[in-house]
């Protein structure tokens, strides 16, 4: 361990209400992607033994937590939401330091956790079931939600507080307990979130945090019979592994995976508005969003005018450290992510797309110790090119010309993913047709593909997801099971579908 590591703050796992080191004794570093000299902290490199301890704690706590009335569970979550709001600025600065996106965006990330926690806490009094008439006399019929058990929560680095809130808070309000494995690139934001839940009074063992890699921590969660539901956000490739690993024990599995989202710009669009939307959708969070607008399909009548404005604005974006209030786009999160961006830029060139702007890593001066890349736009892209088909997760946007509305819809749907899409048009008929015909989980009109709100379902179709949704009340379906209940007070045997009630 070097001197820089020795002087850094060392953070621990949170298991059964206590902050404890890994049994492995091993740690890993967390560094600022805008300046790798800045060591954010040292975190536990955990093993399957740490996971086993966390699962034992969660399984034991479940027997008590599931019996706490849901409105009482919600009181603790309301308190947690208030604490997040009080600490918002400090949480945002920690997040920018370890993840790189600009402060306005990390403040938004924290605000999303505030919103989600308040919203889901309200579900403590609204986990509605149904009461229905029975076909037989003197018989009562109803349904209710019941918790599932121990929940494994596996989250990515791009929204290191918002996404955990989407999963952990509904799990808790439904009466489940949690073992949380955050991304190794953003463990501090995860730890800050768990610390707030501890400060809000969540009982020991109800929420457990284990940091470390997917091979050791993630796989141990997936194969454990103690885990009854897995909620994972990440790449489609890893999502397939999650699904296959969890299948033998018949766990519930919620997968939120990749996207190759499209903005359609029709010939009647407000071009100034469309350009603004494409800048935000394509380069917000340095393109590191599953909902990022990495494809723009533009009608040929306005193609050149749109492209000129879009390229001009992208060239003017200020790239730098997200803690600098002048910065408009931060770094990639890691060297590996930057390498992926550079690889796809070369792929785009070889495929014959025109590099309209950008295309280079930024390495000189203030950029020398970070993972920076220019905002990059390819024009004259065909829909079949790899840069228009594969998720890049970086500041690279493909602009594709089209000749008609129908062609734009076909191009929009012509990828393996189905998360988010949008259209810019002043024609209400086109807007509603696109709403119907784009096979995605999210759709926008005259707005980019990013900007989901917590009270509507979030998720996608095809290779983006496996049919579940998070956010909104749909999240309750991931973390609860339906139970149908029949109460016969007739005092005699009544056989449904066989005996008939007297008139």
What is the Cα–Cα distance from 380 to 377, expressed in whole angstroms?
10
3-state helix, strand, coil in the chain (%, to 5): 40, 25, 35
Residues with Cβ within 8 Å of 157's Cβ and at least 6 positions away in sequence, in order, are 99, 183, 184, 185, 186, 333
- Of 321, 255, 91, nearest to 186 by C-alpha is 91
Q: What is the DSSP letter of 216?
A: I
> How many C-alpha atoms does 423 have within 13 Å on its Cβ side?
27
Helix (H) or strand (E) run with residue 37 in it:
strand 35-44
Give Cα separations from 390 to 119, 152, 237, 439 (angstroms). 34, 28, 12, 17
The radius of gyration computed from the CA coordinates of the chain, to the nearest angstrom, equals 24
Q: Give me the catalytic one of 98, 198, 256, 374.
A: 256
Q: Which residues pair with 145 in a beta bridge?
A: 482
Strand partners, 143: 130, 484
Phi-psi region of 434 (alpha: psi -120 to 50; beta: other; left: phi over 0): alpha
Q: Which of 174, 290, 357, 402 is catalytic?
A: 290
Buried b (16+ CB within 10 A) or exposed e, 437-461: ebebbbbbeebbbbbbebeebbbbb
462 forms bridges with which residues in the sheet?
A: 417
Active site residue 278: no
Given the DSSP bridges, would you call strands 177-181 and 150-154 parallel, antiparallel or unpaired? parallel
Residues 6+ apart with CB under 8 A from 393: 287, 288, 292, 337, 340, 341
d(C-alpha 463, C-alpha 255), whole Å: 10
C-alpha separations of 311 from 279, 379, 387, 465 in Å: 9, 10, 17, 33
Residue 243 pairs in a beta bridge with: none
Q: Any catalytic annotation for residue 290?
A: yes
Q: Which residues are catalytic?
A: 256, 290
């Amino acid at each position: 361990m070097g001197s820089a590591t020795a002087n850094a703050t060392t953070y621990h796992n949170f298991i059964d209400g206590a902050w404890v080191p890994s049994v492995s004794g091993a740690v890993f570093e967390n560094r600022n992607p805008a300046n790798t000299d800045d060591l954010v902290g040292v975190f536990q490199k955990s093993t399957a033994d740490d996971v086993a301890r966390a699962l034992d704690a969660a399984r034991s706590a479940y027997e008590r937590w599931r019996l706490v009335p849901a409105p009482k569970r919600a009181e603790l979550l309301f308190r947690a939401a208030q604490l997040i709001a009080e600490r918002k600025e400090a949480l945002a600065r920690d997040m920018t330091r370890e993840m790189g996106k600009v402060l306005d965006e990390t403040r938004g990330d924290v605000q999303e956790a505030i919103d989600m926690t308040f919203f889901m806490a309200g579900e403590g009094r609204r986990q509605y079931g149904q009461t229905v008439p029975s076909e037989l006399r003197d018989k009562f019929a109803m349904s209710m939600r019941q918790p599932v058990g121990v929940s494994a929560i596996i989250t990515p680095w791009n929204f290191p507080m918002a996404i955990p809130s989407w999963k952990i808070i509904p799990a808790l309000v439904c009466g489940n307990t949690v073992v949380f494995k955050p991304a190794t690139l953003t463990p501090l934001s995860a730890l800050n979130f768990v610390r707030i839940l501890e400060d809000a009074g969540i009982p020991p063992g109800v929420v457990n945090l284990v940091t470390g890699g997917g091979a050791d921590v993630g796989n141990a969660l997936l194969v454990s019979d103690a885990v009854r539901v897995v909620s994972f956000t990440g790449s489609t490739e890893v999502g397939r592994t999650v699904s296959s690993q969890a299948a033998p024990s018949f766990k519930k599995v919620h997968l939120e995976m990749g996207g190759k989202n499209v903005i359609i710009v029709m010939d009647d669009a407000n071009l100034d508005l469309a350009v603004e939307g494409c800048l935000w959708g394509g380069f917000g969070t340095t393109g590191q969003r599953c909902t990022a607008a990495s494809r723009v399909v533009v009608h040929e009548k306005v193609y050149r005018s749109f492209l000129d404005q879009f390229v001009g604005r992208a060239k003017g974006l200020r790239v730098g450290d997200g803690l600098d209030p002048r910065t408009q786009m931060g770094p990639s999160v890691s060297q590996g992510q930057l390498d992926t961006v550079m690889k796809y830029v070369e792929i785009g060139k070889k495929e014959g797309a025109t590099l309209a702007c950008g295309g280079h890593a930024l390495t000189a001066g203030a950029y020398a110790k970070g993972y920076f890349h220019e905002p990059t736009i390819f024009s004259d892209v065909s829909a079949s090119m790899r840069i228009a088909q594969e998720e890049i997760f970086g500041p690279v946007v493909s602009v594709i010309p089209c000749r008609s509305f129908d062609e734009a819809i076909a191009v929009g749907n012509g990828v393996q993913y189905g998360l988010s899409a949008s259209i810019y048009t002043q024609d209400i008929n086109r807007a509603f047709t696109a709403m119907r015909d784009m096979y995605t989980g999210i759709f926008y009109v005259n707005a980019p593909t990013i900007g989901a709100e917590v009270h509507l379902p979030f998720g996608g179709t095809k290779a983006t997801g496996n049919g579940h949704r998070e956010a909104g009340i749909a999240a309750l379906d991931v973390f609860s099971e339906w139970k149908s209940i029949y109460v016969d007070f007739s005092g005699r045997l009544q056989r449904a579908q066989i005996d008939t009630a007297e008139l």
